[in-house]
Each structure stands twice: as structure tokens, then as C-alpha cells.
Structure 1
Amino acid sequence: MSFAGIDLASDPKRTGVAVIREEHAGERLVVHHALLGADDDHIVKLVEESQKAGVDVPFGWPRPFVEHIASHAAGSVEVPKTTGPDWRRSMALRRTDMFVHSRLGLTPLSVSTDRIAYPAMRWSALEARLRASGLDCSRNGTGRVCEVYPAAALKSWHLIHRRYKKTANATARDELVGQVEERWPSLEWNGFRALAVQSDDVLDAIIAALVARESSQGRTIRPSREQQADAMVEGWIHLPNVD
């Protein structure tokens, strides 16, 4: 079985991808593939050939934001009682973002107000392409793909989750890679360890692949019945269920 991880950027040159293969009934994990610089064709192929793919990108936008923008475009916005903090928060954050914050104290980037919207737009096109090929891309993560947030996954596992990105933090990445090796002693880097230390995009893709494996085996937190409707539209970040 193989699990793909995709650290999606708007620019293919900055998109990291990885594939982890599970061998010998899970007793051995091998980084089969890792690359910085993946175009749409490469990503589609990885998802098609994997049992599950973890994608580091918002799968959708907040429902209140989408409804407001659609009403605004039609000139039919209902006047809100207030445009205070709670209203703005509902425009900026999805239900899954709020859940991650309540559980871990981390706030994912807002797909409606931050630059993360650019890779999210790219994903929307990739999702359409994958759906057209017959793959189940349910945004709640029950299909071939699940949304991941590497920093939140790392914090759930009690690993380094901050200040490991960018060139200046290569030492922290090396330490994080060491922590990954301790948590998954059966993981074999297959020559890709240096690339994971060199590129935080590739390292995030490897983390995303590990989360995809957890998701496929039922070891991530799924949306509750109350959260399900929003998750199907907005997306749902799969957190490792360490409980």
C-alpha cells in the first residue's frame, strides 16, 4: 500500500510531494518518492496511484463567506445585525479551523483572507480534475484524499511543530527528522532524508503522507454528525487521534 503527501503551493516549483509505501504488513515503511517541484499532472498521478493522499491545503471556503460573496455578487445581501468580531470570524474561519484551534491552540491560515487562498484555488481545479476521473474527493476526507495541517499533526504527536521552516531553520528540521525516526523506527528514508532536511515543503509532504496513512486506518479525528454538513463543503483537517 502507498500513501501520498502533497504540500500544495500555488506555484508548482514550490510544491513538495512524497510517497510512503507500507510493506510487510506495516512492519516496514519506505519513503518511495519525494520531490520538490510537482505540476498538476504529477499530483493527479500520485493521488490516482495511492490508497490515500494527504493534502496540505484548505479544501473549501467558510460557508458563511461563500454565501455572503454570492449574495453580494447578486446584490441581495441581507444586512447583518453587526459586523463585529464574531461576524468577521465566521467569514474568515471554517468550522474545522475553529476545531483545530479549540483542540490544539493553533489557528490555520484563513482561506478567505490570507494568501493560502492561492493554493486553495489550485486545489479546487485539481479536485475537479480528480472527480472527473472518477475518484471520490469528498471534502470530509472519507474518500481518496484528506486535508491535513502538518503543524497540527506534529503538535498532536508532541513533535517540533514551530520554527522548522525556511533556510535558517535547517537545524530544527534535522532535529524534527530525528524525532520522526524515533516515532516511526521502521521508516526507511531510501536516500531522501537529506532532501527532507533541506526542504520544509518536502518534509511537510512526508508528514502529510503519514497523516494519510493514519486516516486510512481510522486513526484520525473525523467530523461529528453536527460538523458533517460543513465538512462536506468546507473541508475537514484530519488530526491524528492520539487518544
Structure 2
Amino acid sequence: MGVDLAAEATKTAVAMIDWSRGRASVREVRVGADDDLVLRAVMEAEKAGIDCPFGWPDTFVEFVRAHRDGDVVVPEELAGSAWRRGLAYRVTDEVVRRETGLIPLSVAADLIGHTAMRCAGILAKLARAGTPVDRSGAGIVVEVYPAATLKTWHLPYRRYKGRENLAHLSEILDALLGAAPWLDLGRHDETCRRWDDAFDAVVAALAARAASLGLVGTPTPEEAASARTEGWIAVPTCTLDALRP
């Protein structure tokens, strides 16, 4: 399943895909998903891809702690912007930027931080309910990034957000279905054409499928510790057709 998470339920979408009988059938797409719906959907899934940072940069967390204690030290050898970049972006953000050319939103310095606060609460509830949570993606949940996923599969990945871009959203959905004729949206086709959140949730579910098959980039041994605290974006390393049931 996939979640396009937002700070509030009104902009949050959930998509569930059934992979059986030689097809990938979209079983459910819901827009306006509250925490309870997200939690139920994740706990029903074999793998759940959530489009939201799972944590904050370790360097940023240490900076905030030092600031609270009145003990911030700015390295003299770094220019201001370089030092701030090291605080604003996670290890996985820099890996995605290097490998795809896309720059994820900074959870430490952009509005995505509001969504990450909600995500932290959801992950905590999952852990308390007995669902294994590993921010590096080794458990049931995995962090995904729809734009990077689409770009990896050589599909359009820009300018489909918002009501003014519905025509382009529909074109991108057609491109996705053309590249994956085994993906059956069923009665949810129109929802994915009207709501970019719903479309992103479906892409998140496809990325989760790639993660469940072990077909995504994983942290190196040097990156593993950061991935467990900061989160890790699972970008597919396979073709879209490799997900075929």
C-alpha cells in the first residue's frame, strides 16, 4: 500500500494494491485519510510506502540540542551556507540528489516538517501496536519519494500538482498505465485523475512493491546508522515492468 501523507487528513491519500492472478489490482484509494485509516491500512499491508521523511538530520537534532543548552559552535572552516546545508539535509536526501538530480524537501527547513511531525506520531503508534518500524525501510514501512520513483522509470514527474494541472496529471497517469498494462485501477481511475494525492499514493504503493522485492537502493554500511535514525528514501533500482506479478 502507499500513503501520500500531508500534515492534515484532507490532503492525505491511501492506496492499496492487490498483487495476484497476474495483475496488480488497485483495491482501494481514499482521499482524506485520518490517522486511524492510515494505521489500519499499514497494518493490513505486506509493505507500506509512505511519502514523508521518517526523521530529521542527526546534525540538526544535535544542533537544536546544543542551542537549547547554549552551546552552539559554528565550524570556522565552513561557509555559512555550507554549514546550514549540513544541518538541513539528511544523508538519504544527499544520496537521492546525487543519484537522481532531484532535491528532496528539507524536513529541517521546509514546511514538510509539519507533515513529518504527523508521520512521527503515526510511526510511534505503529510501534506501540506491535508493527515493526525500521526507519531504514527494513520493516513493514518504507519511506518513498514519488517524483524520484517516476523519474527512475523514465516517466513524467513534474508539474502535475494542483487543480490547474489536472490535464497534465491525466497525461502522466496515461503514461504510467501505458508502461504498466498489468496495473488495473478499476473504479479508482477517475479519482487518480482528479486528485494528485491519490495518484501519488498509487505511485507510493508501486515503490513499496519494489521495496518488498528488494529492488530499491539501500544504505551502505557507512550510511546504515544514519538511515536508522533519519530515515531512508527507497528509490527503485529496477524497471517498472520488474514489478509485474
TM-score (structure 2 length as normaliser): 0.95
Q: Specify every segment of 5 or more residues in structure 1 that has no aligned partner in the other structure, as ranges.
A: none
Q: Tell me the residue number matched to 1:39.
A: 34
Is residue 63 from structure 1 mapped to residue 58 from structure 2 by the alignment?
Answer: yes
Aligned: 1:166 with 2:162: yes
Match of 2:13 in 1: 16
**Does residue 124 of structure 2 align to residue 109 of structure 1?**
no
* TM-aligned CA deviation for residue 168 of structure 1: 1.2
* Aligned-CA RMSD value: 1.1
What is the count of residue pairs matched by the alignment?
238
Instruction: From 192, 195, 203, give the equivalent of 1:196.
Output: 192
The residue type paired with residue 17 of structure 1 is V
Aligned twin of 1:223: 219
Q: AA paired with 2:34?
A: D
Aligned equivalents of 2:69 and 2:112: distance in 1? 26
Identity of aligned residues (%): 42
- Tell me the CA shift for residue 54 of structure 1: 0.3
**Divergent runs of 4+, >6 A:** none
TM-score (normalizing by structure 1): 0.95
Question: What aligned pairs does 1:1-243 form with structure 2 within 5 A after superposition?
Answer: 4-24=1-21, 27-81=22-76, 82=78, 84-242=80-238
Residue type at the aligned position of 1:137: V
CA apart distance, 1:78: 3.3
Q: Secondary structure at the match of 1:33?
A: strand
> Could you list the runs of 5+ residues in structure 2 that have no partner in the other structure?
240-245
1:188 to partner: Cα distance: 1.0
Q: Distance in 1 between matches of 2:125 and 2:75?
A: 37
